[in-house]
Amino acid sequence: MVTAIRRVVRAGFVGFWRNAYVSLASIFVMTVALFVIGATMFIEQLLTSSLIKLQEKVDINVYFEPTAPQEEIDALRKAVAALPDVAHVTYLSREEALERYRERYRNNEIAMQALSELGENPLGATIAIQAKETSQYESIARFLEEERERTSAGASVIDDINYARNKESIDTLTSIIAAVERASFITMVVLLVAAVLISFNTIRLAIYTAREEIGIMRLVGASNTFIRGPFMLQGIMYGVVAGVLALLVLYPILVWLGPRTELYFELNLFSYFIDNFTYFFTTIIGVGVAIGFISSTLAVARYLRI
């Protein structure tokens, strides 16, 4: 067994270097394919980061009556925060709301005069609710409406819920997020299939040059595993070399793009690459090895048929 493995490995390395031009062609094609796949991963991360930033700016605001008891406000706030769909709840007291109002309209004489004539704080407390997913806002709004109806028999503490006004924006953002996720998945699948097909055709040319050698090995009784082994090893070598080259090409591009993506998308792609280098290295190399292995296995199969 050890001797057979050594022979397969030696034959794989010999075939790799003996057909140098074909090996270079295979590596070049796989490098381009892996580079495109890697670039798609970074583009997807940019889109995801941008959508997360947009999602963080979407929320539901609940405005309480100015006369609402503080204990009832706190009870509702705790009930909302306990919902499984809620990411976090931000509370704004009456005093803080009044301070923000004065800061916002400090240059508006009419607004400031109206406020001074009232002689008291006309604003109520507010809570801003952010969901874990944009699709979950509807269930949160439904819970708030149920709470409002439940207290409507007495003195309702809720003055207004702005979900209806934000519903169109929330639904649009939800649709965009779903579309981006589907598009990213479909794009990645298409790229993987294209990479396998292109690499398969390129590696098949390399194996075609050895068809007579394969025929002779079959005539002398070599097993299919022994015949297939060197070509499978060559495919793995193509994938490893192509993966390393793809990462080397991506590195300077990310160094250049990093500060620019941080400026426009609030995400430094180079820092993200460095922080997740192990993930990208194993993914790119792993995909390259898988493509080379599968392509060489499929390509040599036709010469092993009786």
For residue 32, count CB atoms less than 10 angstroms from its CB and return exposed for 0-12, middle for 13-18, buried for 19 or more: middle
Residue with tokens 């979950």: 136
What's the whole-number mean pLDDT along residues 287-292?
87
pLDDT tops 90 at residue 251: yes
Q: Assign 135 a pLDDT band (cuts: 50, 70, 90).
A: confident
Tokens standing for residue 82: 């306990």
Average pLDDT over residues 54-76: 83
Element at 175 (helix H, strand E): helix 163-208
Domains of the chain, CATH where assigned? 2-54+174-304 (no CATH), 59-165 (3.30.70.3040)
Given the structure tokens 């034959």, which residue do they identify? 11
What is the pLDDT at residue 306? 45
Up-side HSE of residue 183: CA atoms within 13 Å toward CB?
12
Q: Kindly state the average pLDDT of the residues 231-251.
A: 89
Closest by alpha carbon to 41, among 280, 240, 241?
A: 280
pLDDT at 275: 92
Residue 3 reports pLDDT greater than 70: no
Other C-beta atoms closer than 10 Å to the C-beta of 219 total: 8
Mean pLDDT on 153-169: 74
Range scoring the smallest mean pLDDT among 36-40, 46-50, 196-200, 270-274? 196-200
Mean pLDDT of 245-259: 92
From residue 49, alpha-carbon distances to 43, 177, 191, 208 in Å are 10, 11, 22, 46
Residue range 124-140: mean pLDDT, rounded: 86
pTM: 0.68
